[in-house]
């Protein structure tokens, strides 16, 4: 798999020049480029999407890519995966106005955010969370919002979302999060910098190495969770 680029949406407290950031970035990039198919080939070669006689599309599933990345981080790069991050239902909400009374009001938090794909701590003490985004596009937005909130509350110092390029997206389960669909929202997340004392929020974009029409290469297994089955019917 190819690492294309890493976008720094915001950075405060000189985290960008820290040894922890340099180390974790180098490490997860190595884990990205180690994702391969067929296994042992040293590259990620995917079957090109194909229109089936029934009008549906054959595409590649995504779970295989995520599992290889996480395994590389732990077994090859030797990062210790830590427990989940509790963003806390009891954190103080900012006051908002009710209309038409214009009274101050704080809406209680009644839902959990769920965990991150990978959490660890660097040698310098930076708490790091990485989201490998192979869920649908709404999941990408949720991941970015979770990372930003955790950074704002000092729970994390480094937050990273890894997601497909637009070209890779074309050959994966339909509506998978990708940089093309998030590009219009980057300014919004950059604007959250003011809420953070110390922290770095990044997006890393990845892509396949090769495409092939060779019928001898199997498609990556596709599940029926999320919008995977729906995606097979999309043009």
Give me the active site residues, please.
Answer: 133
Distance CA(187)–CA(196), nearest Å, equals 16
Beta carbons within 10 angstroms of residue 214's beta carbon: 9
Element at 172 (helix H, strand E): none
HEC profile for 82-93?
CCCCCCCCCCCC
Element at 140 (helix H, strand E): helix 137-152
* b/e burial code for range 64-96 (CB count within 10 A of at least 16 → b): bbbebbbebbeeebebeeeeebebeeeeeeeee
């Amino acid at each position: 798999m190819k690492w294309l680029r890493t976008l720094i949406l915001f950075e405060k407290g000189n985290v960008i020049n820290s040894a922890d950031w340099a180390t974790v970035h180098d490490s997860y990039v190595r884990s990205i480029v180690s994702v391969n198919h067929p296994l042992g080939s040293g590259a990620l070669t995917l079957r090109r999407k194909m229109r089936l006689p029934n009008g549906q599309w054959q595409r590649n599933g995504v779970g295989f890519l995520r599992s290889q990345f996480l395994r590389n981080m732990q077994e090859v790069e030797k990062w210790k995966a830590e427990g989940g991050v509790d963003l806390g239902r009891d954190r103080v909400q900012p006051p908002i106005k009710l209309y038409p009374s214009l009274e101050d009001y704080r809406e209680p938090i009644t839902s959990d955010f769920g965990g991150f794909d990978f959490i660890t701590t660097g040698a310098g003490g930076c708490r790091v969370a990485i989201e490998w985004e192979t869920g649908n596009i709404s999941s990408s937005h949720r991941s970015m919002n979770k990372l930003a909130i955790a950074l704002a509350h000092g729970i994390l110092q480094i937050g990273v979302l890894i997601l497909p390029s637009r070209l890779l997206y074309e050959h994966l389960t339909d509506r998978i999060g990708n940089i093309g669909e998030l590009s219009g929202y980057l300014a919004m997340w950059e604007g959250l910098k003011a809420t953070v004392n110390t922290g770095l929020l990044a997006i890393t974009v990845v892509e396949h190495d090769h495409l092939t029409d060779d019928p001898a290469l199997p498609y990556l297994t596709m599940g029926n969770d999320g919008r995977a089955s729906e995606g097979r019917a999309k043009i």
